[in-house]
Amino acid sequence: MNDIGTTTFHDVKQYSPKSPSRQLSSKYKSYYQADLPTISMISVKDALKNQILSLDIDMCEPDAENAFFVANLDEVYNQHFRWKSLLPRIEPFYAVKCNPDPLLLRLLASLGTGFDCASKVEIQTILDIGVDPSKIIYANPCKQASFVRYAAEHNVKMMTFDNSDELYKIKRYFPDAQLVLRILTDDTMSLCKLGLKFGASLDSTEALLQTARKLDLNVIGVSFHVGSGCYDENAFIDAVHRARFVFDQASELGFNLHLLDVGGGFSHSRNCDGITFEKIAAILGPEIDSLFPPNVRVIAEPGRYYAAPAFTIATHIIARRTVLSNGDVQTLDMDTVLNDETQTRDDHSGYMCKCY
């Protein structure tokens, strides 16, 4: 899929008293001339409509009918200002795997976010746009040995682990790494349950810390992830208490932990009937302050929180069928679809645009 348009950066000045628009516009002039998506002054709705109506489905190239995104980067800035207002202590490290759009990454970098990278390619992408290695966490508890070497070569020190094999691997290829122990949390209230793959149970954390101590490795903190698409704000509270338990374990073993990574799962929704970022922040921020002293650095790994409100996808309908109420199926040919506006109820009946 391709990105065909975004709004310009100087529209963001209304959302912040600091008004960084002039700095952003100047910084991005060189990027506009690179091989990046088109920048547009028009609205998302008009960008979608213009692209759709510009296609001639009888004569266009084979790839011209591919699905495409339109991104409103004002929304990214809105989300960042929302985050800094409600969770000022927690530093966002954007999860690159969520959406590695080049303009999105550059905007987030200019706003000062860090980056959660899960692979060598993601690390390279972030380093290539000029981000300092200290602003990257290699948040994959199970890494290829060559990728650990790559991180060492590029001084990307912060990385997670949740098993002893990983500790021995890091000892061999990057003994100076700054390690973050990823723990298992209750993710039953999430759409994507990452605990099926990652996270050390509290029954195993002491043994892992002892192994790290034996190997003379530098464990600096604890991380967790309540699952992507979490719909219960109390899941964060339970996870924070588990992290506090591991902090205390580590202290007894001689470690001085000073980093807490609260992962992702943050809602971007503003629908007050469901979970919202405001509801999460209202309990997460105070709970962290009550359990962890100010010298503990706190970061998070939001992904969809930043990307979902900004990106709208359009996709070409290539065929369809209508299922009647009695269960019989009527198959319609494309001539019928294209000539019957009552079937789709949009301006260009061969296409469908859906805004998320």
**Structural domains of the chain sorted by starting position, each given as residue range(s) with its CATH number in brackets:** 73-307 (3.20.20.10)
Q: Pairing mode, if any, of strands 68-71 and 2-6?
A: parallel
Query: Could you identify the residue written with the tokens 């699905």?
Result: 67
β-bridge partners, 74:
none
**DSSP assignment, residue 15?**
G
Is the pLDDT at 151 greater than 70? The verdict is yes
Q: Are 300 and 262 in contact (CB under 8 A)?
A: yes
From the candidates 80, 120, 225, 268, which is the catalytic residue? 225
- CB-neighbour burial class of residue 261 (10 A; exposed 0-12, middle 13-18, buried 19+): buried
pTM of the model: 0.79
Confidence label for 325 from pLDDT (cuts 50, 70 and 90) = low
Tokens, residue 110: 């200019």
Confidence label for 38 from pLDDT (cuts 50, 70 and 90) = low
Residue 306: its pLDDT value, please? 96
Is the pLDDT at 12 greater than 50? The verdict is no
Is the pLDDT at 253 greater than 50? The verdict is yes
* Annotation says 97 is catalytic: yes
Q: Are 72 and 37 in contact (CB under 8 A)?
A: no
Task: For residue range 21-35, list pLDDT tens digits in order.
Answer: 333 333 333 433 445
Q: State the Cα–Cα distance between residues 320 and 250, nearest whole angstrom.
A: 58
From the candidates 13, 97, 316, 348, which is the catalytic residue? 97
| Triad 55, 57, 63: Cα angle to 5° | 75
Is the pLDDT at 152 greater than 70? The verdict is yes
Give the E-state strand segments of the chain in sequence order.
2-6, 68-71, 90-95, 114-117, 136-138, 158-161, 178-182, 190-192, 218-223, 228-230, 259-261, 297-300, 311-316, 321-323, 329-331, 351-354
Please, where are the H alpha helices in 271-355?
277-291, 304-307, 334-339
111 SS3 class = coil
Task: For residue range 261-293, list pLDDT tens digits in order.
Answer: 999 888 787 776 667 899 999 999 999 999 999
Residue 332: its pLDDT value, please? 52
